Amino acid sequence: MKGVNSKNFLGSLVLGSVLGYFALLTGFWYALVITGFVSGLLQKKLVHAFVALFLAGVLSTLLVLLPLFKDGLIRLMEVVGAVIGINGVALLLLTLLISGLMSGAGALIAASLRSFKSL
């Protein structure tokens, strides 16, 4: 990305991943919006904030799900997916997409609030 301050971008990505990982360990999935908000305060531009925290949300979800792959996560997703009528892998990708979008939404809120001069 042209004009990206790589220090802020990587800082948001790392901070969002770490906070998102710990938020997901609590079992409160919607906490990704809060972690995206906190990490999004480092970014000034909306697009940079969304991209950094979308990736952080996906990465933190993958870090939480990684140990479950050896315990049969794909089989579980296939069973749950069969109940609702979609493929198990598609359900896993949908989970990653939703977590990334939630974290990115928090980042968009934070970056738009940061653009006000009074804050």
Q: Which tens digits make up the pLDDT trace of 24-75?
A: 999 888 899 999 999 988 888 889 899 999 999 999 999 999 988 888 888 9
What average pLDDT does this structure show over 7-20? 89
Q: Strand (E) positions, 1-118?
A: none
Which tens digits make up the pLDDT trace of 72-95?
888 988 998 899 999 988 999 999
Query: CA 15, CA 10: separation in Å to the nearest integer?
Result: 8
Q: Residue 9 pLDDT more than 90?
A: no
Ramachandran sector of residue 5 (left: φ over 0; alpha: ψ -120 to 50; beta: rest): beta
Q: How many residues does the chain have?
A: 119
Position 99 scores a pLDDT of 95
**What mean pLDDT do residues 93-110 have?**
94
Q: What is the pTM of this model?
A: 0.86
Among candidates 40, 34, 32, 43, which has minimal Cα distance to 1? 43
Q: Is the Cβ–Cβ distance between 37 and 106 less than 8 Å?
A: yes
Region 97-104: mean pLDDT is: 95
Q: Are 101 and 57 in contact (CB under 8 A)?
A: yes
Helices 46-69, 6-25: axis angle to 10 degrees equals: 40
Using a CB cutoff of 8 Å and minimum separation of 24, what contacts does 79-87 make?
none
Whether the per-residue pLDDT at 1 is higher than 70: the answer is no
Could you give the CA distance from residue 115 to residue 45 in angstroms, rounded to a whole number? Answer: 8
Q: What is the pLDDT of residue 53?
A: 94
